[in-house]
Every structure is written in C-alpha cells, then in structure tokens.
Amino acid sequence: MDVQTEKLNLKREVGLVGAVSLIAGTMIGSGIFMSPQTVLSSIGSPGASLLVWACCGALVILASFCYAELGTVIRESGGEYIYILRTAGPVVAFMLIFSSVLFVRPAGVAGISLSFAQYVVAPFYPDCAAPALLVKCVAAVSIVVLAAVNCLNVRFAMSIQVFFMVVKVLALAVIIVGGLVMLVRGHTENFQDSFENTNLAISPIGIAFYQGLWSYDGWNNLNYVTEELKRPEVNLPRAVVIAISLVTGLYLLVNVSYLTVMTPMELMSSNAVAVTWGNKVLGSWGWIMSVAAALSAFGSLNGTFFSGGRVCFVAAREGHMPAILAMAHIHRLTPSPALIFTTIVSLLVLIPGDFQSIVNYFSFTAWFFYGITLSGLLYLKIKKPELHRPYKVPIILPVLVLIVAVFLVLAPIIDNPQIEYLYVTLFIASGAIAYVPFIHYQLCPGLLTKLTVFLQLFLEVAPAEKNL
Ligand code: ARG
C-alpha cells in the first residue's frame, strides 16, 4: 500500500495558471448556452437581462473574496463543508453533505447532461422542439459513458478536461467576434429602448438570478482543494479575480452577441440559443455551434464527476459519510463508489426533471449553503478576531453577500410559493433528522459494516487518501 503513504502528504502542486483554469473551466459549461433565454424571458428586457448577468458576476466575485478569507483562515480542503463544520458545527455540516451528495451534485450532473443532449439533438430538429424523451435518453447515455470513463482511468479523464476547456473558450470567442462584427455593422436595433417591458416582480428577478448564477457556479471550486494550492494566501485571491473577471467578461460579451443577432422574441423561443445564433450568422456552418456547445457541456460534466470525490472524502474522514463513498479502486485509483452512486442518483433526478427546474432547485439549495458559509465567516470575524488572517476582507462584504443570498433563497418562496421549494426545504431539513440516528447514535453500524465489506470486495476498492 505504498501508493497510499505516498498520497498522505499531498504536495502543493497547483500554481496560479492551474488555479485559474480550475475555476474558469468549471464555471463555463452548459449555462451560457442554455440560460440566456430563460434569464431574458423572466426579466423581460434585453437591458435588464445584461444587468442580471453583470450582477451575477459581481455577486460571485464578492462572494469569492469572502471565500478567499475563509480559505486562508481555515486552511483545510473541502470548501463549504469544512467551513460550516468548523463554524456552525457537525449537524449543519452534515445537512450540507447530505443535500450535496443526494441532491446538489446529482442535480448538477443531470442539468449539464440535459444541456449536452439538447445540443446533440438540436440540428436534427431545425424547426421544432426535440422530443423530451429523446433528450433525456441522450442525457442518460452521456452520464453513463462519462461515469464509466472516470471509473476506468483518471489520466484520460484529465486530458478530456484540457481539450474541452480549449473548445469552449474558442466557441465563446466565435460567438463574441461574430456578434461584434454585426454590432459594428450597425445592427443595434435590439438595444433600442432596451429596458422596456422589464419585469420588476420579485420572483422573476429571483429566477433570472438562479439561471444566471448556474452559469457562474463553480466559482468556489478552488476552496475544495486549498491544501493542494501553492501559497494559497496569494494565489487564492489572485486566481479568483482573474478567473471570475474573465468569465464575467466573456458571458457579458456573449450575451451582447446573442442579443445583437437575435430579436428578444427569437432568443426567448429558441431551445438552443447557440444553434439559432449559428444558423443566423454562420449559415450552413451553424451546426458547428451545436457541436461546440455539446462539447462544452460534456467537458463540464466530466469535471463535475472528476472533482466530486474530494468532498466525500473529507466528510468520510469526519465520519459523516459511509466510508465506502470515499474509497478508490485499488489499481485504477478512481473513486468508483462515489461515481456510481452519483450516476444512479443523477439518473433518478433526470427522470422527472427538465433543465430549467433542475437549475432553479440547484441554485436555491446551493445559495442556501453559501449563505450559511458566509454567516460562518461573519462569526469568525466577530468572535475570533485574533485568528491569523493573511488575507482579509472588510466585514461589509460578507454582510452584503449574505443579504443577497437570503434574498435569493427567500424571494421565490415568499413571492410565488411553489410546493416544490417546500419539498426541497424539507429535504434539506431532513438532513438534520437523519443526523440523530445515523451519526450521533451511530445506529445500524453492523449492517453498514457488512454492506461496506461486501461492496468493497465487489468493487475492489479500499480507503483512499484525498487526491481522488
Ligand atoms: N457553471 C456550470 C455550467 O454552466 C455548472 C457548474 C455546476 N457546478 C459544479 N460545481 N460543477 O454548466
């Protein structure tokens, strides 16, 4: 087992460039090819839609400054989980990991795979929406294929990642350049009276932000691996600024391009914006955009699978996860149990879900826990001012972001209560209930041990150290 002892001392190997691509590569995925039409149709006007995209960027950059302070005060890897564990305590941390493993991560996987599927089938249905069943089947196939790749070979999964990163930046660049050319040629008619018809009700604003923030999700990715980052106190804030401003800039320009080329009506009625854009600008080469958007989603899906193992591992180390989910294959060193588990739950989420609702519930749950994490930062700032802080943000920042997070979580519930949000809330709360028997009283350990041993032999896995 010398492989394991080698891995015990994780080296700090991620530099600034690696850190930036870790963030930007996760952020750019499906959202920018799927959400612009929903943002626009909820908020009502092109001007307000651009404003929402800009505000989402501003929000995540402020939030990530707060996370940078957290990441340099609490230097362990594990993101929200470890911050909540060290500030709010084990019950809330367990609620997070419970929701994350059973819902947030699978929902992320399901959402991205739906975007992939939508773009794969779009060229075959130029004039109408593709059948929902077909889209779901293609999405399911993509999940199973990627899970298999990730179970078999880590290195292959990693090279897939780099290739897709290049493809998606190129695709965004093509969209931006195409749009700018049109703009320079004087196609500015869609920006006249650009705030007309803005919908100022609370719930649509909330939904527009949920959709926009989905495209920005992944901004906190570096906090999951702080232990592997070189000089985190310098590189964490720096990488965050570079990556998030880059992505915000790209997203804004892409949206300007979409709005230049398509009328708001066309944009809102498109199932796959990049394809509609491609058909109008690239003519018979329009299908290229479909391929690029599909590849972008595919890469994001791969990354989401790839990084999934870490939080599970940290939580299993704290006894908050069945040990089996933090194990890796003895030869391939891939976290197959966690991958298989996520695949099964993702397929279950896929059955009833469509892209928009999956994304809304994802953002709702994610921002619920981002909010709790930020209150943890406030707690540390007020109660433990003596802690060593190599990087510090003014207290107003977490206060501000926390207020927005509370708004984001409460807005759709208060303004336009839908029973689904109640279910999601009950589900998050049920984590606290599950905590009592399973973690506090350690009920049914015998059964769990037997199951673990069986699965361990069946899947050929063993406890692994962190860098799954
Ligand atoms: N921002 C990504 C996209 O637009 C989704 C990221 C999902 N979250 C994650 N942590 N992988 O597709």
AA letter at 226? T
CB 116 within 8 A of CB 355: no
Angstrom distance (rounded) from CA 359 to CA 1:
42
Low-confidence ranges of the chain (pLDDT < 50): 1-9, 467-468
The predicted pLDDT at position 388 comes to 87
Find all residues with CB under 8 Å of 331, minimum gap 6, and list them. 460
Question: Taking the model in full, what pTM does it have?
Answer: 0.90
The alpha carbon of 163 and the centre of ligand 1 are apart by a number of angstroms equal to 17
217 lines ligand 1 (CB under 6 A): yes
365 lines ligand 1 (CB under 6 A): no
The predicted pLDDT at position 260 comes to 93
What is the position in ligand 1's atom list of the atom closest to the CA of 111?
12
CB 319 within 8 A of CB 170: no
Query: What is the residue extent of each domain of the chain?
Result: 11-465
What is the position in ligand 1's atom list of the atom closest to the CA of 216?
1
327: DSSP letter:
E
How many other C-beta atoms can be found within 10 angstroms of the C-beta atom of residue 283? Answer: 8
Q: Among candidates 334, 310, 350, which has minimal Cα distance to 222?
A: 310
Among left, alpha and beta (phi > 0; psi -120 to 50; other), residue 89 is left
In whole angstroms, what separates CA 382 from the centre of its chain?
30
What's the complex ipTM?
0.97
The predicted pLDDT at position 445 comes to 63
215 lines ligand 1 (CB under 6 A): yes
In whole angstroms, what separates CA 133 from the centre of its chain?
25
| Residue appearing with tokens 């990084």 | 307
Q: Give the H/E segment covering residue 329.
A: strand 327-329
What is the position in ligand 1's atom list of the atom closest to the CA of 300?
12
363 lines ligand 1 (CB under 6 A): no
What is the position in ligand 1's atom list of the atom closest to the CA of 297?
12
208 lines ligand 1 (CB under 6 A): no
Output the six-digit token pair for 166: 């290049």
How many other C-beta atoms can be found within 10 angstroms of the C-beta atom of residue 454? Answer: 11
The alpha carbon of 292 and the centre of ligand 1 are apart by a number of angstroms equal to 17
Longest dimension (CA), the chain: 72
The predicted pLDDT at position 161 comes to 73
Express each pLDDT in 79-113 by its tens digit.
899 999 999 989 999 999 889 888 888 999 999 99
Q: Give bridge partners of residue 328 from the DSSP assignment.
A: 462
Q: 3-state DSSP call for residue 14?
A: strand
The predicted pLDDT at position 467 comes to 47
Number of H helices, E strands in the chain: 21, 2
Q: Which CATH number fits domain 11-465: 3.20.19.10, 1.20.1740.10, 2.130.10.10, 3.40.50.10480?
A: 1.20.1740.10
**461-463 vs 327-329, strand pairing mode:** antiparallel
Express each pLDDT in 334-356 by its tens digit.
777 888 888 998 999 999 988 98
Q: 3-state DSSP call for residue 156?
A: helix
Angstrom distance (rounded) from CA 90 to CA 98:
12
300 lines ligand 1 (CB under 6 A): yes
Pocket probe mutation, ligand 1, options 22, 23, 26, 115, max atoms within 8 Å of Cβ: 26
Q: Using only the alpha carbons of the chain, give its radius of gyration.
A: 22
- Distance set, CA 359 to CA 111, 112, 141, 199, 223 (Å): 6, 9, 20, 21, 22
26 lines ligand 1 (CB under 6 A): yes
Pocket probe mutation, ligand 1, options 23, 113, 300, max atoms within 8 Å of Cβ: 300
Express each pLDDT in 3-42 by its tens digit.
444 444 456 777 888 888 888 888 999 999 999 999 999 9
60 lines ligand 1 (CB under 6 A): no
What is the position in ligand 1's atom list of the atom closest to the CA of 217?
1
What is the position in ligand 1's atom list of the atom closest to the CA of 303?
11
